[in-house]
Amino acid sequence: MDSKAIKIAANNVQVYYGDTHAIKDVDVQIEDKTVTAFIGPSGCGKSTFLRCLNRMNDTIDICRVEGDILLDGEDIYDKRVDPVQLRAKVGMVFQKPNPFPKSIYDNVAYGPRIHGLAKNKAELDDIVEKSLRRAAIWDEVKDRLDAPGTGLSGGQQQRLCIARAVATEPEVLLMDEPCSALDPIATAQVEELIDELRSRYSVVIVTHSMQQAARVSQKTAFFHLGNLVEFGETGQIFTNPEDPRTESYITGRIG
Amino acid sequence: MALSWLLLILLALAVIGFFAGRSRALASAGGNVRDLHSLPSYYGYNVALTALVPAVGVLIVWLLAQPMIVNSTVSGLIPDQALLEGSDRGLIMSEVRRVAYGLDGAVASGAMTETQARNGNADTDALTKTLKDAGQILTQDVTQPILVAAQKFRSMTSSGTVAMQVVVLALALLGAAFAYVRTHKEFRARNVVEQGVLALLLLAASIAILTTIGIVLSMLFETMNFFQLHSWKDFFFGSTWAPNFRGGSELSILPLLWGTLYISVIALLVAVPIGLFAAIYLSEYASGITRSIAKPLLEILAGIPTIVYGLFALLTVGPALVSMFGDGGILGVDWMASSNAVLTAGLVMGIMLIPFVSSLSDDIINAVPQTMRDGSLGLGATHSETVRNVILPAALPGIVGAILLAASRAIGETMIVVMAAGAIAKFSGNPFEAMTTITTRIVSQLTGDTDFASPETLVAFALGLTLFIITLGLNIFALYIVRKYREQYE
Amino acid sequence: MTDISQTPNAAPTTKPKGGSLFEKDARTKRRNAAESRFKMYGVAAIGIGLLMLIVLVTNIVTAGTGAFQQSFLELNVELKADKLDKKGNRNIKDIKKVSTFGYAPLIAAALESEVEKFGIQTDLKPKAMGKILSKAAQAELRNYVIADPGEIGKTVSFRFLVNSRVDGYLKGRVTRESIANDKSISVEQLDFVDQLRDAGVLYKAFNPDFIFGADASDQRPEAAGIGVSMLGSLFMMLVVLALALPIGVAASIYLEEFAPQNRLTDIIEVNISNLAAVPSIVFGILGLAVFINYMHLPTSAPLVGGLVLTLMTLPTIIISTRASLKAVPPSIRDAALGVGASKMQAVFHHVLPLAAPGILTGTIIGLAQALGETAPLLLIGMVGFIASNPPDGIVAGFLSPNSAMPAQIYEWSKRADPAFYERAWGGIIILLIFLVTMNTIAVLLRRRFERRW
């Protein structure tokens, strides 16, 4: 598989929670228009690292990040960077579907509204429809855009959250175990969606399921105890890992 | 024999019963504790409780019922013609009681013999003089029917009391004997005692119901009396509050309700924005340290007794407002004549309610799941956008509940309005004027010299009942909303 | 958009689209401004709340501390035996026959000799001079003599209370301007007061009688104290403690440990939560109707006040007791049941002792609430009663009419003489000291015994 342009480059990233050293010296390059999977046992730091990429860790007082994380060559932890502006470019989908207690329409329109992406109602309608289509949920909800988002099924809610995230036209989409709360059918739908999203965005997905990583990602990073153990082509990681720890995890001996 | 002696005897009986029961149980097992069904002390408790509980129960019921029976019997003795102009049976009865207690006091102090006190044909004038000389309080001269009634009252009360003592002691002895006889090593004393204790626990829990029933009944009866003396239409739909103890009062709740609501609205206008923003800041922005300092400090405001707020309003805020809005004040507007005003009471009540709104809202905002915040922040919303567009709408039902609870507090608040709102009942929109509230009127109608036969006094019970119903309704509604809201996120 | 084919590097970096992250766009600036404004509202709200607290506390302290000081005039009074004990046999019954009027000339003489001693120049007549003393002065002296008849015939140095106007003058409340329309004191008298003060016989001193003394009538604010009503409050709290604690704990044990899921339980629970929110004045009506009008318990008695406050405090105690019972983990109960204890034994031997600190904390907080409650006391007649004598004995403490601290404060706030306001604020300081102490004990208890399971 040929290399694409680097979207995010992380160099020597350290993350501390109070006195705990949660992420140790991580270097990783995330390519544009690629699905990168972070795998590893629970508590290995993969979600923490993911949350560094759009500075969601800022909301936690005791969390401290060192090292560089460059988006398009610009350090996102630079003093001049407004996390609000950053998060508009780096969207995020969470583990548990978290639609706002608003209508489906308002859920999707939320991002465009706060970022001022639509000049008028027609444009906003357009964005909402486009986003819902991209999240492959349009056909299911187009007749009830005014219904509350919380009334959808789990899989629909998660796709609604994805639609909500893509509505702000991000360049990177971070997904933190997006399928862990879903049943197999909904999971399949979301995975299919992730594959389609790859054509427009750089997608980073944290997952517990190695099968899922194998199915949806092109690049895989294996985290263990806060260290990035191995990073490479998904196929290679799963068939021929270099590090014995990766092999142990994949074959089910640790985790 | 005084009540305290009776109680002491019962207690002594219980203690004796405890030891007797225990030793009998031990004896029945030949001194071998292992042969007993229960621990020996349970046999003792069984005897003690069986002696004590029914006796005390009967004692309480008797104490409650006797005055009612004596009153109704004695008041039937008073002929209708004995009722004076403008008087009624209730008033006569209190006079009867006064004479009866006077006779008791006179006998006790030796100013009169028991035979004299019982003499139904005694000269009433001489009797009045004897009683007054003996230092007993009488409001009017003793008349023949009153004397007869008073004597009947005395004899019924004293024979009733003797009967009560006999019955109660007999019951205690019977209970103790019964339990003592039953005491045997096979007897399941623990189970019986535990059943008894459980019943007592249930009784304690039922006091809440009894209190509510007491509240409702105590106000309901007097309210019904009030509506017999005064038209309910005037009470609910009249437009004037003008009590007149010489009769012809206009007693409408509407002007009072207006004053109450006006003051409450001002209080909420102060408390809700401040309380809500304080809650938002504390739960969303403040660091752990700020929160752990500011939150308890704010809550001190809720722990300060209302009398303090009342005094603060009366002596500090009121005069300060007058010096601003009054004649010759800083603003030179002469809007405010007296420090007693709707604004004074409303402002101070608002301060009192700040922590009420803030801690309830704080709880409710904290109940909004963190994933909601993450979702919004992850989309690039600022913190304030998250609060305004996601958290507040999500928390809205709960916050409405909190505001309703605060409103119910404001409506039922007494001391601040008694001290700072004024006494004038009127419909006015001017916050610088004195107005009056339901609670203020309850206090003023029920303090001082009260005559429980006049509508001017009884109206307080109708006001109280209305207040109770309004606040109860608000509370039930608010708690319902809050509970629904909590369930949504559980 | 980056075009990969044009970049020679194998792994080139994308270029920022639509502007660098390092430059904030206009919209972000606007939004950030809105953000700081919003945050400011929050800070302002907290600031207002705390400011109010500070204003309130400062106000209480500045207005109330004066009550703990009182102005006294020290005079050397000759207790002439021929006036006070004409028969000369020091028989207490005879001495008591001399009314307060009999003491007036002695005080007047003492004052005159003081004037002479210090060479004070004044045009005041002796009677007007005497007016600067409290109306309670003669009674004070009489009580002193009755308490110790042996002093008759001697000349004793005695500290008299001065009139509340003079006291106010020394405290700065009364000025020569403010008494323009005041008939009870004149400018000449104030001049006279100045001279006495310069002579060092008229001075302010700590006044324990305010804390321990009895209330006084309308005319003598300088003699009023809060001590007797403090006793009233004490007896009320004893009633509340003796009734609310056992009943509250019993009710909580039932509801938390034994109550079956049925309608009765539901009704009890709903009742308790509603009672907690019933306006306190309604409890006053209940007390008036049930305890006084129906049961004919004595009006103004601490017993009745205590009963009413018990009913008010019960929900608070039940709610906190249930919370602490709930905090005891089920494993404790299971352990007790597992070794063959009955449910009742498990609760009374194991759960209740573990929940005791929490119950105590809740009870203290409930008592503190009850101590500051005023409205129901208005209706059962504890206001308007002048608590001029301490109750003689325990039974009288419960049954004879008395006031209570908050009721006494309210009573003072209604009186016409502004000197009473100072005492009302002073009373509030004492009340708040009690409340702060109780709450501190509760917090310390909670800290000390807090257990995390």
- Residue C183 burial (CB < 10 Å; 0-12/13-18/19+)? exposed
C432–B211 CB contact, under 8 Å = no
The encoded tokens of residue B452 equal 């429980």
Query: Which value does ipTM take for this structure?
Result: 0.89
- In angstroms, the separation between the Cα of residue B314 and the nearest Cα of chain C is 8
C374–B412 CB contact, under 8 Å = no
Q: What distance in Å separates the CA atoms of residue B222 and residue B219, rounded to the nearest whole number?
A: 5
**Lowest mean pLDDT, pick from A130-144, B366-380, C6-20, C281-295:** C6-20
With 80 as the cut, is the pLDDT of residue C384 above it? no
Out of A29, A31, A86, closest to residue C21 by CB: A86
Mean pLDDT of B295-313: 92
Rg for chain A, CA atoms, rounded: 18
Query: Which chain C residues have a beta carbon less than 8 Å from that of B208?
Result: 251, 268, 271-272, 275, 314-315, 318
Q: What CATH number does the domain containing A42 carry?
A: 3.40.50.300
B106 half-sphere exposure, CB direction, 13 A CA radius: 27
With 50 as the cut, is the pLDDT of residue C5 above it? no
Location of structure tokens 């609604």: A160
* pLDDT tens profile C30-83: 999 999 999 999 999 999 999 999 999 999 999 999 889 899 988 888 888 877
> Is A132 inside a domain boundary?
yes
Out of A93, A114, A161, closest to residue B380 by CB: A114
* pLDDT tens profile B138-168: 666 677 777 888 888 888 888 888 899 899 9
Q: Which residues of chain A from 160 to 189 reach within 8 Å of chain C, CB to CB? A: 171
> Is A226 inside a domain boundary?
yes
* pLDDT tens profile A97-137: 999 988 999 999 999 999 888 889 999 999 999 999 988 89
Mean pLDDT of B351-378: 91
Q: What distance in Å separates the CA atoms of residue B268 and residue A132, rounded to the nearest whole number?
A: 43
Query: Which chain B residues have a beta carbon less than 8 Å from that of A99?
Result: 375
- Report which secondary-structure segment, H or E, holds B443: helix B438-446
B-C C-beta contacts closer than 8 Å:
258
The encoded tokens of residue C16 equal 């920022």
Contacts of B108 (CB under 8 A, 6+ apart): none
**Residue A206: how many CB atoms within 10 A of its CB?**
25
Out of C11, C12, C28, closest to residue A85 by CB: C28
C285–B308 CB contact, under 8 Å = no
What is the band of C369 on the pLDDT scale with cuts at 50, 70, 90? Answer: very high
With 80 as the cut, is the pLDDT of residue C244 above it? yes
B475–C435 CB contact, under 8 Å = no
Comparing B64 with C321, the larger pLDDT belongs to C321
Query: Which chain B residues have a beta carbon less than 8 Å from that of C315?
Result: 208
What is the band of B422 on the pLDDT scale with cuts at 50, 70, 90? Answer: confident
Contacts of A61 (CB under 8 A, 6+ apart): B287, B288
Q: What distance in Å separates the CA atoms of residue B145 and residue B126, rounded to the nearest whole number?
A: 15
- The boundaries of the domain holding residue A188 are 6-250
By C-alpha distance, the chain B residue nearest C370 is B305
pLDDT for C136: 82
With 80 as the cut, is the pLDDT of residue B404 above it? yes
One-letter amino acid of B290? T
Out of A61, A114, A165, closest to residue B381 by CB: A114
pLDDT for C25: 84
Strands (E), C92-239: 155-161, 202-206
Strand order in the sheet with C202-206: C155-161, C69-78, C202-206
What SS3 class is residue B36?
coil
Pair A57, A48: CB distance under 8 Å: yes
Mean pLDDT of C324-351: 90
* pLDDT tens profile B247-270: 778 889 999 999 999 999 999 999
CB of C44 within 8 Å of a chain B CB? The answer is yes
* pLDDT tens profile C269-282: 888 888 888 999 99
Closest residue by Cα to residue A110 from A136, A135, A128, A85: A128
What is the band of B40 on the pLDDT scale with cuts at 50, 70, 90? Answer: confident
Query: How many domains does chain A contain in total?
Result: 1
- Residue A170 burial (CB < 10 Å; 0-12/13-18/19+)? buried
Comparing C368 with C299, the larger pLDDT belongs to C368
Location of structure tokens 């005390």: B56
Phi-psi region of B220 (alpha: psi -120 to 50; beta: other; left: phi over 0): alpha
pLDDT for B135: 66
By C-alpha distance, the chain A residue nearest B371 is A98
Contacts of A229 (CB under 8 A, 6+ apart): A40, A222, A223, A243, A245, A246
Average pLDDT, chain C: 86
Q: What distance in Å separates the CA atoms of residue A7 and residue B471, rounded to the nearest whole number?
A: 62
Question: What CATH number has the domain spanning C227-449?
Answer: 1.10.3720.10
Question: Percent of chain C having pLDDT more than 90?
Answer: 36
The chains in contact with chain A, meaning 3 or more Cβ pairs closer than 8 Å, are B, C
pLDDT for A255: 53
Torsions phi, psi of C11, nearest 5?
-130, 75
With 60 as the cut, is the pLDDT of residue C1 above it? no
With 50 as the cut, is the pLDDT of residue C7 above it? no
Average pLDDT, chain B: 86
Pair A33, C40: CB distance under 8 Å: no
**Residue B56: how many CB atoms within 10 A of its CB?**
18
With 70 as the cut, is the pLDDT of residue B92 above it? yes
**Lowest mean pLDDT, pick from B278-282, C5-9, C301-305:** C5-9
The encoded tokens of residue A212 equal 């899922």
Q: What distance in Å separates the CA atoms of residue B22 and residue B183, rounded to the nearest whole number?
A: 8
Query: Which chain B residues have a beta carbon less than 8 Å from that of C311?
Result: 211
Mean pLDDT of A88-102: 90
The chains in contact with chain B, meaning 3 or more Cβ pairs closer than 8 Å, are A, C
Query: Which chain B residues have a beta carbon less than 8 Å from that of C245?
Result: none
Question: Percent of chain B having pLDDT more than 70?
Answer: 95
What is the band of B320 on the pLDDT scale with cuts at 50, 70, 90? Answer: very high
* pLDDT tens profile C94-121: 778 788 888 888 888 888 888 888 888 8
Q: What distance in Å separates the CA atoms of residue A193 and residue B208, rounded to the nearest whole number?
A: 59
Q: What distance in Å separates the CA atoms of residue B81 and residue B189, rounded to the nearest whole number?
A: 62
Pair A254, A37: CB distance under 8 Å: no
> Is A1 inside a domain boundary?
no
- Domains of chain B (ranges; CATH) run 3-187 (no CATH), 242-488 (1.10.3720.10)
C424–B218 CB contact, under 8 Å = no
Torsions phi, psi of C129, nearest 5?
-60, -45
* pLDDT tens profile B213-252: 989 998 998 899 899 888 888 899 988 888 877 777 888 9
pLDDT for C8: 41
- Residue A107 burial (CB < 10 Å; 0-12/13-18/19+)? buried
pLDDT for C311: 93
> Is A255 inside a domain boundary?
no
- In angstroms, the separation between the Cα of residue B446 and the nearest Cα of chain C is 6
* pLDDT tens profile A118-129: 889 999 999 999
Average pLDDT, chain A: 89
C344–B64 CB contact, under 8 Å = no
Q: What distance in Å separates the CA atoms of residue B132 and residue C52, rounded to the nearest whole number?
A: 56
One-letter amino acid of B217? L
Pair C402, C343: CB distance under 8 Å: no
Phi-psi region of B30 (alpha: psi -120 to 50; beta: other; left: phi over 0): left
Residues of chain C with CATH 1.10.3720.10: 227-449
Mean pLDDT of C445-450: 81
With 90 as the cut, is the pLDDT of residue B134 above it? no
pLDDT for B271: 96
pLDDT for B81: 67
Out of C4, C22, C32, closest to residue A81 by CB: C22
* pLDDT tens profile B289-300: 999 999 999 999
- In angstroms, the separation between the Cα of residue C344 and the nearest Cα of chain B is 7
Length of chain C: 453
Mean pLDDT of B91-114: 76
